[in-house]
Amino acid sequence: MKKPDPRLKRAGVKGYNKPKRTPGHKTKSHIVVAKEGSRIKTIRFGEQGAKTNRSAKQRASFKARHAKNIKKGKMSAAYWADRVKWKG
């Protein structure tokens, strides 16, 4: 039987690629343990208390500003912020 990954328990998430809010963290609003192939990485993203996703114009500006990093895929904080905090 395979032993569960300790990174999942430390981050307090249910599984890989499942983001979770972190209201108790000082600066970051979310955490995710990202897995792509055999690579695994714990990523914190999103500004704590930021007012995001207010209008279509704000979403478009975020996506334009971070497009290069969003394209990097699951191993970048911008990808997760786009999916979780900036989805339409």
pLDDT at position 51: 86
Would 25 be classed as within a structural domain? yes
* Total of domains in the chain: 1
Would 74 be classed as within a structural domain? yes
Would 65 be classed as within a structural domain? yes
According to DSSP, the residues that pair with 55 across neighbouring strands are: none
Query: Domain containing 43: what range?
Result: 6-84
Strand order across the 20-21 sheet: 20-21, 28-36, 39-47
**pLDDT tens digit sequence for 23-47:** 999 999 999 999 999 999 999 999 9
pLDDT at position 34: 97
Would 1 be classed as within a structural domain? no
Q: What are phi and psi of 11, to 5 degrees?
A: -80, -20
Q: What is the pTM of this model?
A: 0.91
C-alpha to C-alpha distances, 22 to 48, 64, 72, 87, nearest whole angstrom: 9, 26, 24, 18
Would 68 be classed as within a structural domain? yes
Region 49-64: what's the mean pLDDT? 91
**pLDDT tens digit sequence for 71-81:** 999 999 999 99
Would 33 be classed as within a structural domain? yes
